[in-house]
């Protein structure tokens, strides 16, 4: 049976908005507003949504790079939210992150060798010689060569840099990798290379991924299950295949219809979304999506729908199904 | 380790013989192309050599008084002439390089160390730490710096060492503010977030990641500040708050010479030229460093 590696319960992040002479709090941006999900060992959970829907904030909260306002993150039975800074620091050995921008996420003044060796030093793994050996092995694993070790990040292309970023995340042999839009800054031709690399590494090291992206095609390719976020809330989460075949939430349907089909002969009904995404500082009452939803009902304007299991393993937060 | 991933993917190839260049090496390369900067560096090196080999270069000691040759114009015997005690001005200017460079370098190093420490704390920890340190800087900057230096020397007592301390103190806020603003921007970089995600301690992030990436403007500002510090030391010397009597500090030499300015202008011209040249050298070098290390800092 599948084992749960990470469980998120009621996670919230409200960034305060302060104003006035005294810096009084005048409101808050609800970047992530009460989301719950779990990740099984060895699977890939995709998180998709528009820009600003809180998916990156969620990823960073899981690593405690941003402290949650409320809620629990349980990783291997430990609630990360209540850990001390030092315990959390040690836990990061088992959970690592791959960042979006390979041009910004590597220290420009360090050589590749130093970048990759540092996680080992920090967690006290191996002797100097062993660490060098591990760095060279890891470079080969991600498709670079050991002679690249002495170079600086600016001497690599975007795809190569992202490989270095992935190698850094793998150095401590983590169980969970949170990939925050790891391919969205890359050329399409390079994207598939990096995605394949991630898939191969998953098999090789028995990794669990949380894969954050805004590109549904990419997410479909790599994910076992997919969660869809809108305005800081999780609106639907289920198996990847099921989500793409039979989306329940109107927002998911609109998103899917916006994915281009590489065949001009295929005609498809587009469910274009109208209007802008509302401000997370002042989200609509009731269902956050009701301002743009074609199937909006009276209840949607007043009551916030809970994420419910509509079909076995298929969760959606929508009043259409209650 | 099995390398199963290798075959399916083409690892992008970089030629092995391609030159490996660190960011510092690249800065040096662009610095070398800047002629003015090289001239400035040449002047600075010239004065450093002068300071080091002063006993070999100077024909006389700093306090060899010969009343028979008082206030003589420059000649083959005394290249820069003699002062009112019959001391060889050339020798005194040469030895003066030691004092000026010593004061300039150590005063600036002191302000860099203290300023960086305070600036890093303010920038990284923010909140009340930042407010406290920034307000202290503001208060110090509200004084005209030379007045502050005079006040500090007045409290500590006039001597060269105290002049150095005073110059170091008045320059602290400049470096502190500079590094604070750098830290503020560098700490938002994704590689700092990545360092945290890897599991690094604050101290490691600060000194291995934030500090090296904040150094470029400090080096530039430091070079330029040496020039200012030399002028400030000369000003304190001129006011009688710096070097003690026989020491050939350039500013002090100017002060001693001012009563003979009309009858023996060389007593004033040569120490003045020495100050001007050293400062020019450091300024040219600093400008060159700025262009090389941080092209965006121009203007």
> Are residues A204 and B191, on separate chains, in Cβ contact within 8 Å?
no
Closest by CA position to A48, among listed A311, A230, A281, A248:
A230
Q: Is residue A18 within 8 Å of residue A26, measured between CB atoms?
A: yes
> Are residues A92 and B199, on separate chains, in Cβ contact within 8 Å?
yes
Task: Supply the pTM of this predicted model.
Answer: 0.78
Give the integer Cα–Cα distance in Å for B250 and A279.
65
The chain A residue lying nearest B11, using CA atoms, is A143
Q: Does B157 touch chain A (CB under 8 A)?
A: no
Structure tokens at A209: 């991924």
Q: What is the pLDDT of residues B52-72, one digit of tens each?
A: 998 888 788 777 777 787 777
Rg of chain B in Å (alpha carbons): 24
Beta bridge partners of A45: A210, A225
Q: Is residue A209 within 8 Å of residue A198, measured between CB atoms?
A: yes
Low-confidence ranges of chain B (pLDDT < 70): 1-21, 294-299
Give the integer Cα–Cα distance in Å for B280 and B40.
7
Instruction: Please state at what angle helix B145-156 crosses helix B211-238, rounded to 10 degrees.
Output: 70
Q: Does B131 touch chain A (CB under 8 A)?
A: no
Domains of chain A with bracketed CATH: 4-82+211-321 (3.40.50.300)
Domains of chain B with bracketed CATH: 36-297 (1.10.3720.10)
Each residue's pLDDT expressed in tens, for chain A with a length of 322 residues = 578 888 888 888 888 888 777 777 777 888 888 888 889 888 999 999 888 788 888 988 888 888 888 888 898 888 888 888 888 888 888 899 999 888 888 888 888 899 999 999 988 888 889 899 999 988 988 888 888 888 888 888 888 898 899 999 989 889 999 999 888 888 888 888 888 888 999 998 889 999 998 888 888 888 999 999 988 888 899 888 888 888 888 888 888 887 777 777 776 666 677 777 788 788 888 888 888 888 888 888 888 888 888 888 888 888 888 7
Give the integer Cα–Cα distance in Å for A76 and A164.
27
A158 sits in which H/E element: helix A158-170
Residue A264, φ and ψ in degrees, nearest 5? -65, -20
B163 sits in which H/E element: helix B160-186
Q: Does A62 touch chain B (CB under 8 A)?
A: no
> Are residues A165 and B201, on separate chains, in Cβ contact within 8 Å?
no
Q: Is residue B182 within 8 Å of residue B214, measured between CB atoms?
A: yes
Size of interface A-B (CB pairs under 8 A): 108
- How far is C-alpha B170 from the chain's CA centre? 13
Structure tokens at A212: 């954050």
Please tell me the predicted confidence (pLDDT) of residue B20: 59
Give me the torsion for CA of A74, A78, A82, A87, rounded to 10°.
-130
At CA A61, angle to CA A59 and CA A62, rounded to 5? 65
Give the integer Cα–Cα distance in Å for A273 and B289.
53
Please tell me the predicted confidence (pLDDT) of residue B295: 54
> Which residues in chain A are closer than 8 Å to B1, comparing Cβ atoms?
137, 140-141
Instruction: Please state at what angle helix A112-122 crosses helix A128-141, rounded to 10 degrees.
Output: 120
Residue A70: Cβ-neighbour burial (10 angstroms; 0-12, 13-18, 19+): middle
Structure tokens at B112: 């860099």
- How far is C-alpha A214 from the chain's CA centre? 10
Residue with tokens 């898939």: A199
The A residues from 184 to 223 touching B (CB cutoff 8 Å) are 193, 196-197, 200-201, 204
Please tell me the predicted confidence (pLDDT) of residue A268: 65
Give the integer Cα–Cα distance in Å for B123 and A244.
47
Give the integer Cα–Cα distance in Å for B284 and B291.
11
Please tell me the predicted confidence (pLDDT) of residue B5: 46
Please tell me the predicted confidence (pLDDT) of residue B2: 46
Give the integer Cα–Cα distance in Å for B30 and B18.
19
Residue A244: Cβ-neighbour burial (10 angstroms; 0-12, 13-18, 19+): middle
Q: Is residue A152 within 8 Å of residue B20, measured between CB atoms?
A: yes
Please tell me the predicted confidence (pLDDT) of residue B277: 92
What is the DSSP track for B82-138?
Answer: B-TT--BHHHHHHHHHHHHHHHHHHHHHHHHHHHHHHHHHHHHH-HHHHHHHHHHHH
Please tell me the predicted confidence (pLDDT) of residue B13: 52
Residue B56: CB atoms within 10 A of its CB come to: 7
> Which residues in chain A are closer than 8 Å to B18, comparing Cβ atoms?
155
Give the integer Cα–Cα distance in Å for A8 and A62.
8
Closest by CA position to B253, among listed B68, B85, B51, B101:
B85
Q: Which of A91, A122, A140 sits opposite B204 (nearest CB)?
A: A122
Question: What b/e sequence results for B230-254 when a residue is b if at least 16 CB atoms lie within 10 Å of its CB, and e otherwise?
Answer: bbbbbbbbbbebbbeeebbbbbbbb
Give the integer Cα–Cα distance in Å for A10 and B100.
66
What is the DSSP code (8-state) at residue A305?
A: P
Q: Is residue B113 within 8 Å of residue B234, measured between CB atoms?
A: no
> Are residues B197 and A63, on separate chains, in Cβ contact within 8 Å?
yes
């Amino acid at each position: 049976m599948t084992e749960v590696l990470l469980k998120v319960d009621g996670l919230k992040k409200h960034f305060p908005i302060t104003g006035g002479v005294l810096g009084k709090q005048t409101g808050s941006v609800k970047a992530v507003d009460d989301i719950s999900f779990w990740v099984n060992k060895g699977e890939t959970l995709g998180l998709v949504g528009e820009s600003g829907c809180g998916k990156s904030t969620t990823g960073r909260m899981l690593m405690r790079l941003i402290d949650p306002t409320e809620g629990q993150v349980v990783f291997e039975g430990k609630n990360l939210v209540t850990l001390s800074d030092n315990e959390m620091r040690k836990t990061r050995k088992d959970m690592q992150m791959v960042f979006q921008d390979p041009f910004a996420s590597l220290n420009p003044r360090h050589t590749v060798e130093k970048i990759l060796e540092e996680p080992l030093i920090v967690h006290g793994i191996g002797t100097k010689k062993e660490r060098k050996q591990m760095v060279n092995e890891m470079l080969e694993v991600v498709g670079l060569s050991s002679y690249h070790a002495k170079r600086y990040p600016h001497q690599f292309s975007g795809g190569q840099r992202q490989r270095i970023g992935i190698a850094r995340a793998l150095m401590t042999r983590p169980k969970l990798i949170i990939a925050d839009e790891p391919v969205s800054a890359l050329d399409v031709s390079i994207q598939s290379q990096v995605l394949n690399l991630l898939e191969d590494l998953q098999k090789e090291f028995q990794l669990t991924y949380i894969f954050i992206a805004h590109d549904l095609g990419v997410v479909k390719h790599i994910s076992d299950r997919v969660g869809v976020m809108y305005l800081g809330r999780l609106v639907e989460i289920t198996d990847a295949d099921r989500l793409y075949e039979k989306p329940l939430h109107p927002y998911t349907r609109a998103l899917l219809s916006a994915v281009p089909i590489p065949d001009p002969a295929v005609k498809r009904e587009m469910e274009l979304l109208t209007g802008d995404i509302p401000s997370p500082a002042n989200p609509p009452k009731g269902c956050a999506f009701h301002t743009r939803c074609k199937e909006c009902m009276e209840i949607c304007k007043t009551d916030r729908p809970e994420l419910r299991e509509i079909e076995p393993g298929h969760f959606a937060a929508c009043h259409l199904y209650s | 380790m099995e390398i199963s991933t290798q075959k399916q993917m083409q690892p992008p190839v970089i030629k092995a013989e391609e030159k490996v260049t660190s960011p510092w090496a690249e800065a040096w390369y662009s610095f070398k192309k800047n002629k003015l900067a090289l001239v400035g560096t040449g002047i600075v090196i010239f004065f450093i050599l002068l300071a080091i080999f002063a006993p070999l270069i100077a024909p006389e000691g700093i306090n060899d008084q010969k009343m028979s040759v008082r206030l003589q114009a420059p000649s083959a015997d005394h290249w820069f002439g003699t002062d009112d005690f019959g001391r060889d001005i050339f020798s005194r200017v040469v030895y003066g390089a030691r004092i000026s460079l010593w004061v300039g370098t150590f005063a600036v190093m002191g302000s860099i160390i203290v300023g960086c420490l305070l600036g890093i704390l303010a920038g990284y920890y923010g909140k009340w730490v930042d407010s406290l340190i920034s307000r202290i800087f503001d208060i110090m900057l509200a004084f005209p710096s030379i007045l502050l230096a005079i006040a500090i020397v007045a409290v500590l007592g006039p001597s060269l060492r105290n002049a150095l301390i005073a110059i170091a103190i008045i320059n602290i806020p400049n470096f502190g503010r500079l590094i604070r603003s750098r830290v503020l921007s560098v700490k938002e970089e994704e590689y700092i977030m990545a360092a945290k995600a890897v599991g690094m301690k604050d101290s490691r992030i600060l000194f291995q990641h934030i500090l090296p990436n904040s150094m470029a403007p400090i080096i530039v500002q430091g070079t330029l500040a040496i020039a200012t510090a030399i002028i400030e030391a000369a000003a304190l010397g001129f006011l009688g708050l710096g070097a003690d009597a026989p020491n050939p500090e350039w500013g002090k030499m100017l002060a001693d010479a001012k009563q003979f300015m009309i009858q023996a202008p060389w007593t004033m011209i040569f120490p003045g030229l020495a100050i001007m040249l050293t400062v020019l050298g450091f300024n040219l070098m600093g400008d060159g460093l700025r262009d090389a290390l941080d092209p965006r800092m121009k203007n």
